Structure 1
Amino acid sequence: MRTGQDQSAETKSRRGLAPPAATAATPLLTSSAALCWGLQFALLNPVLALLLVGLYDAGPADVGWVLAIYNASGFVAALGIPSWADRRRDYLRPLLACGALTLALAGTLAIATALPVAVVALVVLGGPAGVGVSLLFAEMKHAKAAPSEVINVRAIVSFAWVAGPPLATFIMGSLGNRAILPVLAAVALLNMATTAVMIAKRRTANSVEPDPDPAILASGQSVHRRAVVPIVAGFVALQATNSAAVSVMSLFVTERLGLPLVWSGVALGISALLEIPALLVIGKLSRRLSSQALLATGCIAGVGYYAAMTLITGPELLIAAQPLNAWFFGTVAGIGLTLFQDLIPRPGLASGLFTNTRRIGAIVSGVIIAAGPGLGFGYQGVFGICAIVAFAALILIGLSRNTAPAA
């Protein structure tokens, strides 16, 4: 866990009293890279099933197994590639490679006419390419970025995910399904360009400032498993509740509340938009409050949100509850990333492991979704179970206080 001494050291580093960061990337450059990397798969992933059906005549069963294999490839890549980058202490060249893989993926999907070819491209090219955002945050940690900076950049990635899906559907609706692929290729080129600039700036910085002593870099590089296990389990649980809640929102709105489907999109859209200012506020608060304290507020907000959803009867209360959801997921997304990076000294492994808690959580969410109606509580029962799971996650994460190494 971070202590007052840790925060003081970070402050000294920013004031020039500690060794400079490993890269000379400016905030504007980092923010631009975050926007582009966020857009990269915010444009593709939400419409991937539509592409499989529209371009390759995939059936419902085909879509299911293709997405499963694709996500499995991403899961493996999110651990393997960042860990390899940790050993080399170089995150920018793999980041550049991810941009090239995305470009190759867009080109292959554009010319492919058969589903097997598209599947191979998604597994071999798409899975590894999706590691780009994790590598960007690993590079920030390697460059000694403060937690508040990391959280602010995470807000930019969230903005990309707010803008990406409607932009993708607009392009496909106006110009045809295949039209999204040149746009994806253009974003990949932008990603490669920003990464190339970051590499050039790092070379300039390294030519002025020698690399730190390897003995210093090696110190404190053990992963404290007793602290990691409850943290990982807690975040899998929190991610599962979010995935389950999003998945059943349309059914909850139409079947439980009897409202038009549009209210589901309105509720989720408002929550996503509010997540951005929530992350910015969290970034400021992280300079004064511990990660554990901020995360506790998020878990409490999550419990409150899910409990409120079991009692909601109309659209007004549905919308009024969304700020709680935004604060909840803002802390999970922002504080979670910095907490993993604090706990696990290898930036790539930390970012990759955090990314995979969302993938595992999506799998676990299936159990939550089935349990609510299965126990006779309907879709509001899903939110009730989510409240219990979020509270259990708060306890699990709290246990890490006692297992974290002393500073």
Structure 2
Amino acid sequence: MSPLFRPLALGIYALFLLIGVVCALVLPTLSLFLAKGLGVRPFLVGIPFAGVALMSILYNQVIGSWSDKLADRRPLIATFCFIGALATISLAYSRNYLVVAAVVIFFLSLALVSFSQLLAYSLDYAERNVPAERIPLFNAIVRAQIAIAWVAGPPAGFLLASYFGFKQMYLTAAGMFVFIGLAILKFLPHLDSHAHHLDHLEKADLVPLGALQKRALVLCVIGFSLMWGANNAYLISMPLHLKDGLLIGTEYVGWIMGTCAGLEIPFMILAGHYAARTNIMNLIKLAGASALVLYAGVYVANALWQFFALQIFNAVFIGILAGLGVSVIQELMPGRSGAASALYTNTSHFGNLFSSLLVAVVADAYTYHQVFLVNLLVVALAILAFGRARVKS
């Protein structure tokens, strides 16, 4: 049986789908909970989001490197899930802003590390069981589960919040966190013996990253951060541009995003399939080229159907970026799956911080419409960074 479809691989896919659903349930509705459930002003809504981004970077980097020295990741991943359950139970019952902000910044962000650690576990599995040329495809299938989750998760979260209230929504999320943690402990096996694990680490430590590897790694981190930043700036600006600039109802934004999420999945799988047949960096640059078409198109578009049509380029962009990004970092950091998954996850957090500043400055000085023009420059810089990175094909 192909290692891509063994019972353990299928279990990993299922757990990623579940973690994706619980994250998609909680994160998109958080701003609504803060603004409507607690009644705080916009500035206070933004503080927990900035705090989550900063703490996630810190947690991911410290825990990611440390976790590579552990003989077994499973108890660590499960612990983070149980912390997520406690955090969401706290959100279900607390209506004090300071308490909620502290829980979100310090504990919910820690629970989100379960994603990068499960990603590290999947990389460990791939390194031991999947042929090297098929690892990008395996990683793409893993990431496709997140895309599937984000097709269903946000609508489910908003429906729960609207019809049953925030308390029931957060208790549902808490139950899911507990289920995922228990499933990880019960169904995910220990990948190899403690001795083999330590021997693997010692061999990796004997081969430090070379100067070219470090340079390529820095350039790729910059490139991925810029691309994720451009994507987040687009997500922030598009609803407001549609509403204020084109007088199009914001209810269509969910349909536009859902269209993209659905289209991403086949492009993720195709990217993983072709990564074994071509230079992976050429595919990453193809994602950048699609982003250029997307943002140029959004800048000149003035009809709703045009925004829907442009989602094909958005799907190529995000499908390749999300599907292959971790494979690029993994190639540059062999034997360091925890650090590699944490570093790649952090590029999205770096991008979110950068894009928040970009949108604030550009939209305040000009309009949200001009953010798409600046995105063209941001993506061009990312393509330049990837073009100067040397990653083996």
The correspondence of residues 77-88 of structure 1 with structure 2, limited to 5 A, is: 77-88=59-70
Q: TM-score, normalised by structure 1?
A: 0.85
1:292 aligns with 2:292: no
Moved more, 152-161 or 214-223: 214-223
Q: Helix, strand or coil for the counterpart of 1:247?
A: helix
Moved more, 311-320 or 93-102: 311-320
1:240 aligns with 2:226: no
2:33 to 41, 45, 51: 51
Query: Which residue of the partner structure matches residue 108 of structure 1?
Result: 90
Question: Against the structure 1 CA distance between its residues 106 and 366, is the aligned structure 2 distance closer, same or farther, given a 3 Å change threshold?
Answer: closer
AA matched with 1:218: D
Query: Which residue of the partner structure matches residue 69 of structure 1?
Result: 51
1:384 aligns with 2:373: yes
Q: Within 2, Cα distance between the matches of 1:352 and 1:307?
A: 32
Q: TM-score, normalised by structure 2?
A: 0.88
Q: Within 2, Cα distance between the matches of 1:255 and 1:265?
A: 17
Query: Which residue of the partner structure matches residue 331 of structure 1?
Result: 320
Q: Within 2, Cα distance between the matches of 1:65 and 1:127?
A: 13
AA matched with 1:202: H
Query: Which residue of the partner structure matches residue 305 of structure 1?
Result: 294
Query: Which residue of the partner structure matches residue 160 of structure 1?
Result: 149
Question: Against the structure 1 CA distance between its residues 174 and 94, is the aligned structure 2 distance closer, same or farther, given a 3 Å change threshold?
Answer: same
AA matched with 2:92: A
Query: Which residue of the partner structure matches residue 138 of structure 2?
Result: 149
For structure 1, list consecutive stretches of 5 or more residues without a partner in the other structure.
1-13
Q: Within 2, Cα distance between the matches of 1:375 and 1:183?
A: 42
Contact kept? 2:20, 2:150, Cα under 8 Å: yes
Q: Shift in Å at residue 212 of structure 1?
A: 7.0
Contact kept? 1:25, 1:198, Cα under 8 Å: no
Q: Within 1, Cα distance between the matches of 2:362 and 2:18?
A: 38
AA matched with 2:65: S
Q: Within 2, Cα distance between the matches of 1:212 and 1:73?
A: 29
Moved more, 138-147 or 367-376: 367-376
The correspondence of residues 194-343 of structure 1 with structure 2, limited to 5 A, is: 194-199=183-188, 201-202=189-190, 206=193, 211=197, 213-214=199-200, 215-222=202-209, 224-343=213-332
Q: Within 2, Cα distance between the matches of 1:318 and 1:147?
A: 30
Q: Within 1, Cα distance between the matches of 2:199 and 2:165?
A: 55
Q: Helix, strand or coil for the counterpart of 2:207?
A: coil
Query: Which residue of the partner structure matches residue 363 of structure 1?
Result: 353
Greater Cα radius of gyration, structure 1 or 2 = 1
Q: Shift in Å at residue 81 of structure 1?
A: 1.5
Moved more, 302-311 or 64-73: 64-73
Contact kept? 1:32, 1:194, Cα under 8 Å: no
Q: Within 2, Cα distance between the matches of 1:113 and 1:244?
A: 30
Q: Within 2, Cα distance between the matches of 1:306 and 1:56?
A: 35
Q: Within 2, Cα distance between the matches of 1:210 and 1:227?
A: 29
Q: Which string of whole-angstrom CA distances, capped at 9 and with x for unpartnered residues, describes residues 233-253 of structure 1? A: 111111111111111111222
Q: Within 1, Cα distance between the matches of 2:372 and 2:284?
A: 20
Contact kept? 2:71, 2:197, Cα under 8 Å: no
Contact kept? 1:33, 1:191, Cα under 8 Å: yes
